[in-house]
């Protein structure tokens, strides 16, 4: 690898604090494999965005996120502005160490540390699409945010809020399963107005709507089988007006890829999605609860280069290497 300026942005609180305990070992291996680099440690929500932006503006070439999907989402929102990448040559790396780490199920980002560092060393990349949403903050200001994997609204936002307020000692999968079960029992279905491009515009009663760039969210829910990170489309999964018994009985289909077998689940594809409601409907964005409807979501094709393992790429991405 040519001489590159590398910054690791580390969320020590991810995975219920396990990342902070693992960081000394990760740092030692990374220095042996990559040479010198800078480390920036997050201390709270939103820090990774500010730290990533600082790293980009100081001339760094590679930003490596160490944490979960939420940390990676913050890093992405630090290296991009409304027009795109702040610096066109920057690359993003990801060492998954979070509660869910669902992105790594849709693109070959290695969980094994040695292989992840090898990929950073060789700078093999894949360009992926991102979603961009516009919504209003609690103060009424219009905000925008990118997401790399899945954003959802309805039950997903409630689950996020519960997961992020409770212990994650049971691990990512069980933390989300338990939060989902508890939320399902207390959740009241929402009535929303949903439009997808020019092909769908209806008022529907829903449990959840997932706008998917990747295939998985919520610690392994296979919410969008067939979605691809580089096809220029969202796969929109609408879980409709089921009874509580129907939801509980069919919950395994959320994990085994058979969700579209259900009559009250609808799959749509599109590039622009709008949703609103007279009720309070929480949004989940890459595993974080960031706001509530109304929202406008648009696909931004081929905007982000991610370092990954091109040797075991399960999908047909367009390759760019440095």
Q: Model confidence at 322, in pLDDT bands (50, 70, 90)? A: very low
55 or 162, greater pLDDT: 55
Separation between Cα atoms, residue 203 and residue 212, nearest integer Å: 20
The pLDDT of 124-132, averaged and rounded, is 95
CA dist., res. 46 & res. 92, Å (int): 18
The whole-number pLDDT of residue 318 equals 38
Residues 136 and 123 in one domain: no
Query: Which of the pair, 110 or 240, is modelled with greater confidence?
Result: 240
Q: Which of 50-59, 77-86, 100-109, 126-135 has the lowest mean pLDDT?
A: 100-109
On whether residue 1 sits in a domain, the answer given is: no
Residues in CB range of 83: below 8 A, 6 or more apart? none
Q: Which two tokens stand for residue 55?
A: 């790293």
Do the domain assignments include residue 174? yes
Residue 279 has pLDDT above 50, yes or no: yes
Residue 278: CB atoms within 10 A of its CB come to: 10
Pair (48, 81) in one structural domain: yes
Distance CA 73, CA 14 (A): 13
Could you tell me if 292 and 308 lie in one domain? no
What is the domain-level CATH number for residue 219? 2.60.200.40
Are 278 and 191 in contact, with CB atoms under 8 Å apart?
yes
Residue 114 burial by CB count (10 A; 0-12/13-18/19+): exposed, middle or buried? Answer: exposed
Per-residue model confidence as pLDDT tens digits over 3-42: 789 999 999 998 889 999 999 999 999 999 999 999 999 9
Confidence of residue 320 (pLDDT cuts 50, 70, 90): very low
Identify the band that residue 91 occupies on the pLDDT scale cut at 50, 70 and 90. very high
Q: From residue 283, give the alpha-carbon distance in Å to each of 6, 32, 295, 311.
A: 33, 41, 9, 35
User: Is residue 158 included in any domain, yes or no?
Assistant: yes
Cα separation of 257 and 288, whole Å?
23
C-alpha distances in Å from residue 306, one per residue of 117, 124, 290? 13, 8, 24
For the segment 174-202, the average pLDDT, to the nearest whole number, is 84
Q: Say which CATH number the domain at 107 has.
A: 3.40.50.10330
Identify any residues that bridge with 154 across adjacent strands, giving them in sequence order: 208
Q: Is the domain of 233 the same as that of 150?
A: yes
Same-domain pairing of 119 and 140: no
**Scanning the structure block, which residue is given the tokens 């929500």?**
45
For 155, the 3-state DSSP assignment is: helix
Do 67 and 158 fall into the same domain? no
The domain in which residue 294 lies consists of: 132-300
User: Position of tokens 């609690």?
Assistant: 138
pTM of structure: 0.89
Task: State whether residue 2 is helix, strand or coil.
Answer: coil
Average pLDDT over residues 204-208: 94
Helix crossing, 69-79 with 47-57: angle to 10°?
40
Q: Are residues 75 and 86 in the same domain?
A: yes
Mean pLDDT of 154-182: 66
Question: What confidence score (pLDDT) does residue 294 get?
Answer: 96
Tally of domains in the chain: 2
Which comes out higher in pLDDT, residue 2 or 135? 135
Regarding whether 195 and 161 lie in a shared domain, the answer is yes
Structural contact between residues 234 and 131, judged by C-beta atoms closer than 8 angstroms: yes
- Six-digit token pair at 320? 């760019």
Least confident range from 1-15, 49-63, 65-79, 264-278: namely 1-15
Query: Does residue 184 belong to any structural domain of this protein?
Result: yes
Q: What is the arithmetic mean of pLDDT over 108-136? A: 93
Q: What percent of the chain has pLDDT over 70?
A: 89
Give per-residue pLDDT as tens, 258-274: 999 999 999 999 999 99
Query: Which pLDDT band, with edges at 50, 70 and 90, does 171 fall under?
Result: low
In this model, does residue 169 exceed pLDDT 60?
no
Higher per-residue pLDDT: 248 or 234:
234
Dihedral-angle region of residue 181 (phi above 0 means left; psi in -120 to 50 means alpha; beta otherwise): alpha
Instruction: Identify whether residues 276 and 192 lie together within a single domain.
Output: yes
């Amino acid at each position: 690898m040519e001489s590159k300026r590398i910054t690791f942005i580390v969320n020590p609180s991810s995975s219920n604090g396990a990342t902070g305990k693992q960081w000394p070992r990760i740092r030692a291996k990374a220095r042996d494999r990559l040479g010198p680099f800078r480390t920036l440690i997050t201390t709270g929500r939103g820090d990774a965005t500010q730290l990533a932006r600082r790293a980009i503006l100081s001339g760094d070439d590679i930003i490596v996120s160490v944490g979960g999907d939420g940390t990676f989402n913050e890093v992405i929102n630090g290296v991009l502005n409304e027009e795109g990448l702040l610096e066109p040559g920057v690359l993003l790396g990801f060492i998954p160490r979070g509660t869910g780490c669902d992105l790594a199920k849709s693109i070959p980002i290695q969980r094994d540390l040695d292989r992840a560092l090898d990929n950073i060393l060789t700078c093999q990349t894949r360009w992926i699409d991102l979603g961009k949403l516009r919504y209003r903050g609690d103060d009424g200001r219009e905000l925008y945010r990118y997401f790399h994997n899945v954003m959802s609204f309805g039950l997903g936002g409630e689950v996020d809020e519960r997961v992020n307020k409770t212990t994650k000692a049971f691990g990512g999968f069980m933390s989300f399963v338990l939060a989902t079960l508890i939320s399902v029992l207390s959740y009241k279905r929402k009535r929303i107005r949903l439009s997808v491009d020019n092909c769908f515009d209806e008022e529907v009663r829903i449990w959840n709507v997932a706008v998917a760039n990747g295939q998985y969210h919520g610690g392994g829910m296979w919410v969008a089988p067939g979605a691809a990170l580089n096809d220029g489309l969202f796969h929109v999964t609408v879980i409709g007006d089921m009874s509580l018994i129907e939801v509980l009985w069919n919950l395994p289909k959320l994990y085994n890829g058979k969700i579209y077998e259900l009559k009250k689940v609808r799959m749509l594809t599109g590039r622009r999605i709008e949703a609103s409601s007279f009720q309070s409907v929480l949004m989940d964005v890459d595993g974080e609860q960031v706001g509530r409807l109304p929202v406008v979501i648009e696909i931004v094709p081929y905007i982000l280069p991610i370092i990954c393992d091109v040797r075991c790429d399960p999908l047909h991405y367009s390759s760019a290497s440095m």
